[in-house]
Amino acid sequence: MQKMNLTFIHNGTHWIVWDEGIEASGKDLAELDTNLREELNNRFNFQPGTRLEVKMDFDYSTIPEWMKEYQPYYIHRNVEFTF
């Protein structure tokens, strides 16, 4: 299985994931995953049956400093796609 690491945030209305030329967004996590899968397949044209694990690390710099003491971590996600 191939692996990829990306960064993601929530801008108040959308979840956004990106890294070096890759960007996808969605109003909810399901839409984000759908749009990310499509973006990755368009960019890399995976062979049918290719499996990909995408690790998404939340960008903590988007959380206000005063809030970090109450929320020492936010969210990390692992998603697997089969193309």
pLDDT, tens digit, for every residue of 3-57? 999 999 999 999 999 998 999 999 999 999 999 999 999 999 999 999 999 999 9
DSSP string computed for 1-36: -EEEEEEEEE-SS-EEEEETTEEEEESSHHHHHHHH
Query: Is the pTM here over 0.95, yes or no?
Result: no
The domains of the chain are located at: 2-82
CATH of domain 2-82: 3.30.160
**Residue 55 φ/ψ, nearest 5 degrees:** -100, 125
